[in-house]
Chains A and B, each alone.
Chain A
Amino acid sequence: MTANALLEFLLRQGDTTLVLGHRLSEWCGQAPALEEDIALANTALDLIGQTQMWLGYAAEVEGAGRTADDLAYRREAWDFRNLLMAEQPNGDYGRTLMRQFLFDGFNVLHLDALQSSTDERIAGIAAKSVKEARYHLQRSTETVIALGDGTAESNRRMQAALDHLWPYTGEMFVADAVEAAMAETGIAPDPSTLRAEWGRTVRAGMAEATLTVPDSDFAHQGGKNGKRHSEHLGHMLAVTQSLPRAYPDASW
């Protein structure tokens, strides 16, 4: 059970960074300002770099001779274990940044706790990633505040983004059998224990952004257990996987 749970956990980590990293990269060449374009491309690059570490370790734990690339490019939508929030289409720029803020807040707390994992590899990956994640959070916080507390139009869009994304945040904190096995062995924290602090970070940011946090704890689920991905993931994978699937083992 534990080896299997560990693999599931690593896929959750790596698939979330892969899918979110790809979503962010979709803005490359299209963001509203050059600086924004570069910022999102760099954030995407960090997330894809983290993916290599998570999925690289996942492939080793699996022990089936697959590599990180095989996991990224040769699995089907139902094999993915990313958060549903990560696979949602970008929407407008405000929604993309709001998603980043909501995720970064969780990611920093989670990685921070993972630095003291009983699994040395995980502790090392977390220590490397958390530095990048803190920088992401600093930027996404500043940006959502600037836009929330900006013009009437930017405020309206940021509130719409927060309302739309809120039901996707709960999945980050759901503790199922995989998370319970990880917590029991000291490999990873029970994510539900991170919720209160995340809530404080988010409410503080949203208050400054003059936005109202929705009063609902309804949570869409099915991403990190792979049971019910949204239709969007398959469309995204059709893009990300098209080259390796059309030209298997291509190299350049």
Chain B
Amino acid sequence: MSAQPDTGRPDTDRIWDWLDAVPDPEIPVISVVDLGIVRDVRWDGGTVEVAVTPTYSGCPATAIIALDIETALRDRGIRDIRIKTQIAPAWTTDWLSDKGRARLEEYGIAPPRAAGGPAHCPRCKSDDVERVSQFGSTPCKAQWRCRDCMEPFDYFKCI
């Protein structure tokens, strides 16, 4: 059954760990696993199939992410890789990991909240913040500003 008899077939838990080291190309402090876009990893005979879902339907990073995943697994010695794009169920920011949320905040991006806006400024933690624009530098972010430290910052849109 295994196509890679020498090393043994790495189990899917290990593959998940490897994928957790693949950074998101636009927000490199979090991994593609933190972002919640890797939906499934499975062996199909000697091929690893990774199901990936886009964040936003037009996100230009989607193709790069597929390439980065493929490269990372190839570097680990896996030869046969299939990336499956899956749109249903639709991605939601609920799938961001707690580790991912914490890293976003440390990096200066306020994590998404169901309330529709950031809890506080990711830099000085003041809750006196205002929205500048519903959109930002990538499809998944909006622009906010802190009225205490006066710094503008990104907010990860909640969808």
> Do residues B134 and A132 form an inter-chain contact, with CB atoms below 8 A?
no
Specify which chain B residues have a CB less than 8 angstroms from the CB of A124 in the assembled complex. Answer: 87-88, 90
In the bound complex, residues from chain A placing their C-beta under 8 Å from that of B157 are 135
Q: Does A172 contact B (CB under 8 A)?
A: no
Q: Mark B115-159, 1 if CB is under 8 A from A, else 0.
A: 000000000000000001111110100010000000000000101
**Which residue of A has the minimal Cβ distance to B91?**
A128
Q: Does B5 contact A (CB under 8 A)?
A: no
Q: Judging by beta carbons under 8 Å apart, are B88 and A45 in contact?
A: no
Interface size class for chain A? 20 to 34
Q: Report A144 CB to chain B, min CB distance, Å.
A: 14
Contact at A131–B159, with CB atoms within 8 Å? yes
Bound-complex Cα distance A129 to B87 (A)? 10
B36 at interface (Cβ–Cβ under 8 A)? Answer: no
CB 8 Å contact bits of B62-91 with A (1 = contact, 0 = none):
000000000000000000000000011111
B59 at the interface (CB under 8 A from A): yes
Query: How many Å from the CB of A122 to the closest CB on chain B?
Result: 11
Interface-side segment among A46-54, A193-201, A213-221:
A46-54
Q: Does B111 contact A (CB under 8 A)?
A: no
Residues of B near any A CB (own CB < 8 A): 54, 56-60, 87-92, 132-137, 139, 143, 157, 159
Residue contacts A-B, CB under 8 angstroms, 10 given: A38-B136, A39-B135, A45-B59, A45-B60, A49-B59, A50-B58, A128-B88, A131-B159, A132-B56, A139-B135
